[in-house]
Structures are given as C-alpha cells and as structure tokens.
C-alpha cells in the first residue's frame, strides 16, 4: 500500500461496534512506515466546508477510488495506523486530490 490509496481498516463506531471502513493513506511516517490516515464517510452532513473534501461519481478519480457512493474525506478524523491494521487497498485517489488534502491539513496546522 502507498500514499493516496484508499484502504479498509477496522474502526470503532459510536455504538461500540467495530466495522471495516475506508480511509485515505495521507502520509507514510518514519521510522516504522505507519500511515497517517483520514476517515471517509457517506455522512455528507458532517462536512466542514473548506476543510473536508467531497468525492462524487462525477469526479475523474471517483471510479478508481473503489468507493460506492458520494463520500466525504474527513480531514478532522485522523489516526496513525500500523500497516498490519490495514486490511487492503480498495482504490486510489488522484495525486491532485491527495496533494490538496495535504496542503489543506498543513495550512490548518500552521495557522492555529
């Protein structure tokens, strides 16, 4: 797996159950090659405008993403996961979207 991949990983839900959910692999981190990831949700009402990123069926990279429906890439839902917690890759986002996510997150971190 590599940066910009969309992978499945077990994530605890609000009700305490654990479900396999998609995440974007934002950046591989030293020294153990863990990944900084952000969650993906179909709960579009949770969007933080100007921060989160919506990926839709009309987007050029949607088909290759492996997602089934319009989804929200949630930059506010971050985690660092070891590779062995990632079940596998289901797709990939474009390099442009990946870079946009990193820039948005970086700018937010630098300005606060």
Q: List, for residues 78-108, the tens digit of each pLDDT value.
A: 999 999 999 999 999 999 999 999 999 999 9
pLDDT, average across residues 19-43: 95
The neighbour count for residue 76, using CB atoms within 10 Å, is 12
Domains of the chain (ranges plus CATH)?
Answer: 5-111 (2.30.30.110)
Location of structure tokens 């996510």: 101
Q: What is the CA radius of gyration of the chain?
A: 13
Q: How far apart are CA 23 and CA 3, in angstroms?
A: 11
Separation CA 61–CA 1 (nearest Å)? 18
Q: How confident is the model at residue 18 (pLDDT cuts 50, 70, 90)?
A: confident
Whole-model pTM? 0.93
């Amino acid at each position: 797996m590599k940066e910009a991949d969309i992978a499945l990983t077990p994530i605890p839900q609000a009700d305490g159950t654990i479900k396999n959910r998609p995440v974007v692999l934002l950046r591989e981190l030293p020294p153990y090659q863990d990944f900084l990831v952000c969650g993906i949700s179909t709960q579009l009402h949770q969007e933080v405008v100007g921060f989160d990123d919506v990926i839709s069926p009309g987007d050029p990279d949607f088909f290759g993403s492996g997602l089934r429906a319009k989804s929200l890439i949630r930059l506010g839902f971050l985690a660092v996961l070891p590779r062995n917690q990632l079940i596998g890759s289901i797709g990939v986002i474009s390099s442009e979207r990946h870079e946009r996510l990193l820039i948005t997150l970086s700018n937010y971190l630098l300005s606060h």
